[in-house]
Amino acid sequence: MPLPIADILARTHPYDSLDADALRDLVAHVGEARFEADQQIYAHGDRLPALYLIAEGRVEVSDEAGSVLSQLGPGNSFGERGLLRDGTAATSARATNATALLSIPADVFTALVADHPGIARFFDRSRPARAKRQDLTTMSLADVMTRDPLTCTPDTAIRAAAGRMRDNSVSSLMVMRDAKLAGILTTRDLTNRAVAEGLPPETPVAQVMTPDPVTLPPSALVSDVLHRMVERHITHMPVVEAGRLVGILTQTDLTRFQAQSSAAMIGEIADASSIKDLARVVHAIPQLLVQLVGGHNAHQVVTRLITDICDATTRRLLAMAEERLGPPPVPYLWLACGSQGRQEQTGVSDQDNCLILHDDMTPAHDAYFKSLARIVSDGLDACGYFYCPGDMMATADRWRQPLRVWREYFEGWIASPDPEAQMLASVMFDLRPIGGDESLFDGLQDETLRQASENSIFVAHMVSNSLKHQPPLGLFRGFATIRSGENKNSVDLKHNGVVPIVDLGRIYALRGRHRAANTRARLEAAITGGQVSPTGGRDLLDAYDMIADIRLAHQAAQIRRGETPDNFMTPTDLSDFERSHLRDAFVVVKTMQSAAGQGRGILS
């Protein structure tokens, strides 16, 4: 019996977005295909004749190595990734039971994508459109407002209200009556209506407040606030949503936001005279992250700027340590590894660091460098860069050694890549100089990259180690979420999202002897240098951008809600469109991992 092609397309997204004429034209070109249970539809590398839409039955999609990526049912399309790329299948597909498919010829599908932006956005999942970068005036109030502003009741005495404003260093109180905003009390109100009029200290604020103040919703733009402030000659804007007070934005806040940039923060760090001063600046990083993400900056820009602040803090602490301890007895170099080493810090960061000392060092000199390491690591912890749980810090004797010992470390890891050596090499291949004599690292890095790239056994072990973190792919186009504990039903966007790509980037860098520690720079260098195919490399870059952007957006949303940022995101927090794109990004990562494991994803 023929399939009801028009009915199927009309009720299946994204074809349901087509107008009647476009849908009728598409139906005229769509064919049918039927497959028996366990029959292959196409294999990896085959030329794809069409895009397929499942009408009946189930289809299993697997990667080049045979690992199952998805099990699809009626309403799911497949084959689009290969068609959008070069016309060859990026995966394999087989029917798991008797299956009926609609087939949209390749040329018809290409024209459909070209002529209908909505169809293009749906299928080109590896390259979703980025919002344009915004400046402060085009950001929403939700991204910049102060949440949970201080409140009082209408019968609060003006003396008590003034004391509360002083104690909390704020210039206003929201006056609430029965959970509704009744007015606003500002320092200007106290000056003009209370002090100037000589009112008694016990006068209720209701007599001097500004009643029924102008408000805006959190979806309004900062430019809306500026316009209202200029028009009404006001300096405070309560933010109200559905009748509920949710925040406040003041003229002082706007000035602070304009000035709050990574450059301004680094300037304050350079002038800091105490760890307390450093901590005050560093503690503003969450708001900077919200501001940068709200401005639609790319993830690599956000993480680079945030890492620059950590670098500057580390260098200031090194200077403070030398001021306290005196000049170092021999040259040294402080290096960072982990996310700081890769310039990929987000709102959640511990510290991973080490010291390389000049070979002229003697045992008598270690007391100086042990003290220096303690001052810097303690200072970083006080600023919010908590101690490394694995003790990968310069305070550990093992990671505070002369250059000759570091050479021995790397030679030993490369020669005998046991599990511990693989783990340590993975961390230490991300080293980046932060402060001191950088000549201590140049020769070591070049020598190590040469030795590693020439040792095929070591590289094979590193490839195997890099496959330990897998993308959270579930079957039936779902996610493999955490099953128990405080993060139940979430996915770990760090260890199962970003880290697999970081590990692949490191392997490409070893094979190509690329000096960059940054993951995106490593991927780009691998494409240029031929360590990965151009098509696979570009797909992996796009997947990395998507996962990293979603991770930062998740952390920014948590900060806006007053929560501590983490890496655990519940997939239901995303729209269906976002979930579909994110899963496709994970499929790309899984495919590239499988290729690397089979020796095909990394070119000689």
What is the per-residue pLDDT across 123-165, written as a single tens digit (0 to 9) for each? 765 444 455 555 667 778 887 888 889 999 999 999 999 999 9
Contact between 368 and 329 under an 8 Å Cβ cutoff? The reply is yes
Name residues whose C-beta falls within 8 Å of residue 231's C-beta, 6 or more positions apart in sequence.
Answer: none
Residues 356 and 406 in one domain: yes
pTM for this model (two decimals): 0.72
Same structural domain, 509 and 479: yes
Question: What is the pLDDT, as a whole number, of residue 285?
Answer: 93
Tell me, what's the pLDDT at 127? Answer: 46
222 and 146 in one domain? yes
pLDDT at 200 over 70: yes
Please check whether residue 277 lies inside any domain of the structure. Answer: no
Residue 514 covered by a domain: yes
Compute CA 394 distance to the chain's CA centroid, rounded to the nearest angstrom.
27
Q: What is the pLDDT of residue 132?
A: 52
* Degrees to nearest 5, angle at CA 26 with 25 and 27: 95
Is there a domain that residue 603 lies in?
no
| Three-class secondary structure of residue 590 per DSSP | helix
Show Cβ contacts of residue 311 under 8 Å, excluding neighbours closer than 6 positions: 336, 340, 434
Q: Is 529 part of a structural domain of the chain?
A: yes
Q: State the pLDDT at residue 166.
A: 93
Instruction: Name the token pair of 90.
Output: 């990026």
392 plus 529 within the same structural domain = no
CA distance 527 to 83: 21
Q: Are strands 151-152 and 172-177 parallel, antiparallel or unpaired?
A: parallel
The answer to the question of residue 439 being in a domain is: yes
Q: Are residues 116 and 150 in the same domain?
A: no
Residues 226-258 pLDDT 10s: 878 877 889 999 999 988 999 999 988 776 666
Task: Report the range out of 328-337, 421-430, 456-465 with the highest average pLDDT.
Answer: 328-337
Domain's final residue, options 123, 153, 174: 123
What integer is the mean pLDDT of 187-199?
A: 93
Structure tokens at 331: 């040259």
Give the pLDDT confidence score for residue 336 in this predicted structure.
96
**DSSP letter at 364?**
G
Q: How far is CA 102 from the centre of its chain?
A: 38
The more confidently predicted of residues 246 and 120 is: 246
Say which residue the tokens 């992996």 belong to.
540
User: How many angstroms separate the CA atoms of 229 and 332, rounded?
Assistant: 54
Tell me: cis bond preceding 14? Omega within 30 of 0 counts: yes
Q: Decide which of 193 and 136 is more confident.
A: 193
542 in the same domain as 573: yes
118/515: higher pLDDT = 515
418/502 same-domain check: no
Amino acid sitting at position 403: L
The mean per-residue pLDDT over the stretch 261-267 comes to 79
Q: Which of 62, 89, 123 lies at the terminal end of a domain, its last residue? A: 123
Q: Calculate what percentage of the chain has a pLDDT beyond 70.
A: 95
CATH number at 203 reads: 3.10.580.10
Among the ranges given (29-43, 59-73, 380-394), the one the predictor scored with the smallest mean pLDDT = 59-73
CA distance 566 to 383: 18
Round to whole Å and give the CA distance between 352 and 47: 47
pLDDT for res 12:
83
The rounded distance, in Å, linking the Cα atoms of 381 and 349 is 10
Domain count, the chain: 4
Is 479 a domain residue? yes
CB atoms within 10 A of CB 416: 12
Query: Is the Cβ–Cβ distance between 187 and 210 less than 8 Å?
Result: no
Hey, what are 399's tokens? 């990671």
| Maximum C-alpha span of the chain | 92
Q: What is the CATH number of the domain that holds 91?
A: 2.60.120.10
Query: Tens of pLDDT along 55-104?
Result: 999 888 887 767 777 778 788 888 887 888 778 888 889 999 999 999 99
144 lies in which domain range? 136-256
Digit-coded pLDDT (tens) for 564-574? 999 999 998 88
Query: What is the rounded distance in angstroms from the CA atom of residue 602 to the CA atom of residue 536?
Result: 10
Q: What is the CATH number of the domain that holds 553?
A: 1.20.120
317 and 441, same domain (yes or no):
yes
User: CA–CA separation, 33 vs 54, rounded Å?
Assistant: 10
Q: Which of 101, 123, 145 is the last residue of a domain?
A: 123
359 in any annotated domain: yes
The answer to which of 132-146, 261-275, 291-305, 415-429 has the lowest mean pLDDT is 132-146
Where do the DSSP E strands lie in 273-418? 332-336, 353-357, 400-402
Same domain, 427 and 330: yes
* pLDDT recorded at residue 352: 94
Helices 534-560 and 576-597: crossing angle, nearest 10°?
Answer: 140
Q: What is the pLDDT of residue 128?
A: 46
Which pair of tokens denotes residue 222?
Answer: 């900062």
Which secondary structure element, helix H or strand E, spans residue 152, and what is its range? Answer: strand 151-152
Residue 386 lies in a domain: yes
Task: For residues 490 and 551, state if they share a domain.
Answer: yes
Q: How many residues does the chain have?
A: 604
* CATH number where 344 lies: 3.30.460.10
Residue 479 contacts residue 438 (beta carbons within 8 Å): no
383 plus 320 within the same structural domain? yes
Query: Within this chain, do residues 162 and 115 fall inside the same structural domain, yes or no?
Result: no
Confidence (pLDDT) at 476? 59
